[in-house]
Amino acid sequence: MEESDLTPRGWLRHQATRVRVLLAQVVALGVVVGCLTIVQMGLLAWIVSRLTIEGIPADELIWPFMGLALVVVLRALAQWGQESAGNEAGVRVRSRLRAELLDHLAALGPQRLSDQHSAGLGGQVVEQVEALDGYFSRFLPQLRLAVVLPLIILCVVLWLDWLAALFLLLAAPLIPLFMALVGMGAERLNREQFLAVTRLAGHFLDRVRGVTTLQLFNRTERSVDEVFTAADDYRQRSMRTLRIAFLSSAVLEFFASVAIAVVAIYIGFGLLGYISFGPADELTLFSGLFVLLLAPEFFQPLRTLSQHYHDRAAALGAADALVKLLKRPAPAEPVPAEVSETEGQASGSRVDLENVVVSYPERGRVLGPLDLVIEPGECLAVTGPSGTGKSTLLHLLGGFVTPAEGSYEVSPAAPIAWMDQRPWLVKGSLADNLRLAAPDADEARLYDAVRQAGLGALIDTLPDGLDTSLGERGLGLSGGQAQRLALARVFLSQAPLVLLDEPTASLDVDTEAQIIGSLRRLIDAGRTLIVATHHPALIDMADRVLTLSEGRVIDSQRRGRNEIEQ
Amino acid sequence: MKSSNDATLTATFRPWMKVLGRRRRRLWLGGLLILLTVAAAIGLLALSGWFITATAVTGLMLAAGIQATLDIYRPGAGIRFFAVGRSVVRYVERVYNHETVLRLLADLRAGMFTVMTRLDERVVGQLRASEWLNRLTADIDALDSLYLRLLAPPLVALLAIAGIGILLGLFVPGIGVAVAIPLLGLWLWLVVGQARLGLAASRRRIATLDRLRMRSIEQMQGLAELRCYGTLATHRRALADEERALYEDQRRLGRYQALGNALVGMGVTLSAVLALWLGARAFGAGEISGPVMVMMPLAVLAMSEALAMLPSGFTHFGSTLAAAERLNGIASLRGAIREPQAPEALPEGALSLEMVDVSLDYSGTGLPSEVRSVTPALERVSFSVHAGERVALLGESGAGKSSVAKLATRLIEPEQGQVLIGGNNVRQVALGELRSRIGYLTQHAELFHDTLAANLRLGDAQADDARLWDVLSIVDLAAWARELPQGLDTWVGESGRQLSGGQARRVALARVLLCDPDLVILDEPFSGLDATTAAYIASRLDDCLAGRTVIYLAHDEAGLPSVDRALRLREGRLT
């Protein structure tokens, strides 16, 4: 399937083919349920007719009664099977899709996703994929059943009384027509609804994260009002969607009710002998009651479909957003392979940039044209005023941005050690946070890394050591401690290329010196280090200092490492 | 058994029942509308059955030449009335009830956010931002079931069963009782049985969804690290575990709910068969007429309308319960910062800061001990900064500098000692006044997902563009901002991600300057800046900080503008 011309509908259809067998099963069981319903109603009408018209006492009809009970039980079993199979189809589609979505997001990388709120993306992975459930588990099978079951019932009614069948047939086409009219609006509203949900989540997350800032600037009361306004806006949007959905079922129900009432009155008049044309004078209580009991069943599959109509609208809304995300071209190069504990460590990476230019849509050209060769084992410091492309250079080497022009190569293409300006910490223990860089590392290696990053003294004072748990963004750790924890990951990893963005910001002189000592150990081990920094002590550590201004190299100084050590 | 948990169940839902109570009238009216829908459905089927049979019997008599009459107009009108009435009432009911519930949810969200904004900062930090987000969205959403699925439908179903029992009992009392008993049994199973069956799985499902969302957001935020370190696959495996657990529970719940739905169909139809059987015997005994005998099972068949709502609601009872429990947990968090009863006014002009024997050991927050031990604490710290003085508060990261600033702005409250601003105990000053007079640049200053201008105007909502350019030039960002295609209206992205770290920091600094504070606390104002920019900003700061009290928080004096004196903190003590 061509990724470029994906429409939400086409995409959903494509997903359905992947659970074809299950969906067929659901439809088949649905037909069984429908047929058993017909048998059940027929038996009921027959029993009533025998009782009232022929005056047979109830005790002589014990077997038909037992038969009726048996049909009811069988029907319940089939219904259970139908629903369970539909549920399974929904689960399978979602599990596959979620995996694909996460893969795609990973391939896109952080820089390409920087215009998206991570809570919004998280919501897409969780809520929007969940929103597809009803479409596959209920709506799609019901769409088939809404055609098949009324036809079967129509045939039965036709056999009983063709005029009654005609009444049903006349009412039927009106229903999908009205639903289509109502549904068209619902689809657009549903898309808006999804946007509103995503916006609401982003709005809340922003306010929640910045709650301290809001408190400091006396904005809490206003932000509470804003939260209420956002929630109320969400209510109004939801109501618009819901009103349409409810209206569509009301319209359907209204037409069904009118048709049933017409049939009931026709049968009543026919039984009284008031109608002398057509098959009316052949009506009996059995056929009349049977038709009357089948009339609601004729409309029931359509009513059920309209109840599931919002499932379709929700799925289309979700699909629209998901397809947009999936359409974003991800770079062809694979995400670096997983860390293998046996390899690595050997030597540093070589980096080769040729005439590279990087530009962002909002900010224009941020880096280049740039020619640069970094030898294995070299330590390069990149400096220059903030906003001149230091971070962009690191993003490029990390593989998160594709150059607009030129080419670059990192060899070997092994894992890279990375540390950001904002230390990324997850909820969990200190050890969990460290193992993000090396999942299989044992306790001893973790302690070693922590000491190299200058956190040894702190960890020793903790009663639970590395099992101490942290809040979000390292709350419970000070800024410097959080940064050192992120730095500990660099020491833990075996990556031959190390990218550091202001690794010593907010550390005091003693700690900085300690860390520089550790970083030197990395250089001595032959790893390639690229450090974006302003700190003189870090710059002194480098073999070469690159000064950037407005994305271009304005100065490149080579230094002897020994010179500094003296 | 459920009964043994009744006390805790009631306790869990009590606060929420109170919230519902505020919209009592809407809720009763909504319930009445549901009842009307069910009554119309029963009326429609019962009357149709009676009518058809009556016409058939009369028709036969007429055919046999017996004189017989049947009023066909009134039953016909009745059938049309019930048919149309049902559609209309159902539409009105659904719109009305959903509107009620969404209003309740908006109230709840704002209420929950208010609770959060009043908490001690250390307590807020106990939950990740994404967890707070879930409390505000998913958990509160789950509470919509409370009325719409858990309270109104079972009540209406119970009334409908009683109604059917009475209706049938009017003709033959025995039949009314005999049919009501199995229906009551069915009701009991659908409410208690389904709830118990799905309790564990539905409870777990919400928690799993929560973790799945958290892990997904984590993956998005840490994509750089995960991709570089090549550990994406490992993190994905943790995600996959959560997913597997989720699907397992969803399968289970799907089966349970299907069981409930099948039982509704089976139970109601079998009750109808029972009504027909008993009716037939009564008919044989001459107690009732044929049409009434047919009316009875058909009226019972319509009960599926009343019971159909129960399986989905009660199979997922655990989700609502868990959501209510979590929200109750937040409501019971300790450590709210309270406004003073009779606030004192701060003196005009530059403000002094005084710490008197202040200790911060976190025992007042009710936080678990392992969190307390990592977090910096203060121990019996006393010092004062005079009005107009410039002081550097030095110390290694984690020494307690930030705690001093948070105490001054009353983001946190000390376990012991007093904090005085301008000679007034901070507890006696209105929070609004206190915070508007103190400018505090935090270590992680948050930018909001908004425009550059909107982020700056947090400092002063009334500031015009000229003022904004003013402060931007102080932090040396004016030239950069002028180059931006959208200028001040540039969107800064989540947490200021579209800006570089140094730029975001300077925007936050500009924002503090904009609020024209009398006491300025700057936490590492120049971190992440190159020496030239830092020196330039420091010299511009000197001018605009004149006449204010300034406290710099830093790990050493290097790179700070000149100060009158320096204080040193080490492991929570002044040295």
Render B133-172 in DSSP notation, one character per residue: HHIIIIIHHHTHHIIIIIIHHHHHHHHHHHHHHHHHHHH-
Report whether pLDDT(B267) > 90: yes
pLDDT for A302 equals: 84
pLDDT tens digits along B158-181 = 999 999 999 999 999 999 999 999
Across the interface, whether the CB atoms of B223 and A284 are under 8 A apart is answered no
Is A409's Cβ below 8 Å from some Cβ in B?
no
- List all residues of chain A from 5 to 44 with a beta carbon under 8 Å from chain B: 40, 44
Across the interface, whether the CB atoms of B125 and A95 are under 8 A apart is answered no
Report whether pLDDT(B544) > 70: yes
pLDDT for A566 equals: 33
Q: What kind and span of H or E run contains B439?
A: strand B438-441
- Whether the CB-CB separation of B2 and B58 falls below 8 Å is answered with no
Q: How distant is the Cα of B166 from the closest Cα of chain A, in angstroms?
A: 23
Is A4's Cβ below 8 Å from some Cβ in B?
no
pLDDT for A175 equals: 67
- The DSSP output letter for A339 is P
Is A480's Cβ below 8 Å from some Cβ in B?
yes
Render A371-415 in DSSP notation, one character per residue: EEEE-TT-EEEEE-STTSSHHHHHHHHHTSS--SEEEEEEES---
pLDDT for A563 equals: 45
Chain A positions in Cβ-Cβ contact with residue B478 (cut-off 8 Å): none
Is B200's Cβ below 8 Å from some Cβ in A?
no
Angle at A339 between CA A335 and CA A344, to 5 degrees: 115
Which of B152, B132, B140, B149 has its CA nearest to residue B19? B140
Three-class DSSP category at B521: strand
Across the interface, whether the CB atoms of A95 and B402 are under 8 A apart is answered no
pLDDT for B49 equals: 85
Residues of chain A with CATH 3.40.50.300: 350-565
Return the structure tokens found at A499: 């990218």
* Cα–Cα distance measured from residue A164 to residue B56, given in angstroms and rounded to the nearest whole number: 16
The radius of gyration computed from the CA coordinates of chain A, to the nearest angstrom, equals 35
- Whether the CB-CB separation of A109 and A329 falls below 8 Å is answered with no
Q: For residue A382, is it left (φ>0), alpha (ψ between -120 and 50) or beta?
A: beta
Q: Which of B105, B222, B276 sits opposite A47 (nearest CB)?
A: B276
**Model confidence at A23, in pLDDT bands (50, 70, 90)?**
very high
What class, spelled out in words, does domain A8-327 have in CATH? mainly alpha
Is A122's Cβ below 8 Å from some Cβ in B?
yes
* Cα–Cα distance measured from residue B375 to residue B398, given in angstroms and rounded to the nearest whole number: 8
pLDDT for A507 equals: 66
Is B265's Cβ below 8 Å from some Cβ in A?
yes
Q: How distant is the Cα of B530 from the closest Cα of chain A, in angstroms?
A: 5
- List all residues of chain A from 179 to 198 with a beta carbon under 8 Å from chain B: none
B464 exposure class (CB count in 10 Å sphere: 0-12, 13-18, 19+): exposed
* Cα–Cα distance measured from residue B575 to residue A422, given in angstroms and rounded to the nearest whole number: 30
pLDDT for B18 equals: 84
Q: What kind and span of H or E run contains B424?
A: strand B424-425
* Cα–Cα distance measured from residue B82 to residue B305, given in angstroms and rounded to the nearest whole number: 14
pLDDT tens digits along B357-377 = 998 876 655 555 444 445 557
Chain B positions in Cβ-Cβ contact with residue A416 (cut-off 8 Å): 228-230
Across the interface, whether the CB atoms of B276 and A272 are under 8 A apart is answered no
Is A554's Cβ below 8 Å from some Cβ in B?
no
- Comparing alpha-carbon positions, the chain B residue that sits nearest to A123 is B213
What class, spelled out in words, does domain B19-331 have in CATH? mainly alpha
| Residues 6 or more apart whose Cβ sits within 8 Å of residue B168 | B175, B176, B179, B180, B275, B296, B299, B300
pTM for the full model?
Answer: 0.80
- List all residues of chain A from 418 to 477 with a beta carbon under 8 Å from chain B: 418-422, 424, 426-427, 436-439, 458, 461-464, 468-473, 475-477
| Residues 6 or more apart whose Cβ sits within 8 Å of residue B458 | A213, A214, A217, A219, B448, B511
pLDDT for A388 equals: 83
pLDDT tens digits along A272-323 = 888 877 787 788 889 998 998 898 899 888 888 877 877 887 888 889 889 9
Bigger pLDDT: B146 vs B130: B146
CATH number of the A350-565 domain: 3.40.50.300
The residue ranges of every structural domain in chain B are 19-331, 353-574
Mean of pLDDT values over A353-360: 86
Three-class DSSP category at A554: strand
Q: Which residues pair with B355 in a beta bridge?
A: B383, B419
Which of B249, B421, B400 has its CA nearest to residue B318? B249
Options 3.40.50.300, 3.90.550.10, 3.40.430.10, 3.30.565.10; CATH of B353-574:
3.40.50.300
Q: How distant is the Cα of A418 from the closest Cα of chain B, in angstroms?
A: 6
Across the interface, whether the CB atoms of B530 and A200 are under 8 A apart is answered no
Across the interface, whether the CB atoms of A292 and B52 are under 8 A apart is answered yes
Cα-Cα end-to-end distance for chain B? 62
Q: For residue A56, is it left (φ>0), alpha (ψ between -120 and 50) or beta?
A: beta
**How many interface pairs between A and B have CB atoms less than 8 angstroms apart?**
519
Bigger pLDDT: A111 vs A76: A76
Across the interface, whether the CB atoms of B411 and A481 are under 8 A apart is answered no
Is A237's Cβ below 8 Å from some Cβ in B?
no
Report whether pLDDT(A1) > 60: no
* Cα–Cα distance measured from residue A50 to residue A72, given in angstroms and rounded to the nearest whole number: 20
pLDDT tens digits along B221-240 = 888 888 888 888 888 888 89
- Orientation of helix A20-52 relative to helix A62-112, angle to 10°: 150
Chain B positions in Cβ-Cβ contact with residue A489 (cut-off 8 Å): 225, 229
Q: How distant is the Cα of B488 from the closest Cα of chain A, in angstroms?
A: 13
Mean of pLDDT values over B428-452: 88
Report whether pLDDT(A527) > 90: no
Three-class DSSP category at A365: strand
Helices (H) and strands (E) in chain A, counts: 21, 11
- Whether the CB-CB separation of A145 and A34 falls below 8 Å is answered with yes
- The DSSP output letter for A506 is T
- Comparing alpha-carbon positions, the chain A residue that sits nearest to B297 is A44
Q: What kind and span of H or E run contains B216?
A: helix B194-221
pLDDT for A185 equals: 65
- List all residues of chain A from 274 to 313 with a beta carbon under 8 Å from chain B: 284-285, 288-289, 292
Across the interface, whether the CB atoms of B48 and A102 are under 8 A apart is answered no
| Residues 6 or more apart whose Cβ sits within 8 Å of residue B214 | A122, A427, B128, B130, B131
Return the structure tokens found at A60: 């002589």
Return the structure tokens found at A560: 């002897």
**Model confidence at A346, in pLDDT bands (50, 70, 90)?**
low
Is B208's Cβ below 8 Å from some Cβ in A?
no
Angle at A470 between CA B400 and CA B525, to 5 degrees: 40
Mean of pLDDT values over A125-142: 91
Q: Which of A69, A110, A422 sits opposite B270 (nearest CB)?
A: A69
Which of A406, A349, A344 has its CA nearest to residue A376? A349
State how far the alpha carbon of B83 is from the alpha carbons of A262, B34, B87, in Å: 11, 15, 7
Residues of chain A with CATH 1.20.1560.10: 8-327
- List all residues of chain B from 409 to 448 with a beta carbon under 8 Å from chain A: 409, 411, 431-432, 435-436, 438, 440, 442-448
Chain A positions in Cβ-Cβ contact with residue B232 (cut-off 8 Å): 106, 335, 338
Chain A positions in Cβ-Cβ contact with residue B446 (cut-off 8 Å): 209-210, 212-213
* Cα–Cα distance measured from residue A418 to residue A420, given in angstroms and rounded to the nearest whole number: 7
Determine how β-strand A428-429 pairs with β-strand A469-470. Answer: antiparallel
Return the structure tokens found at B461: 């909502």
Q: Which residues pair with B574 in a beta bridge?
A: B569
Bigger pLDDT: B87 vs A192: B87
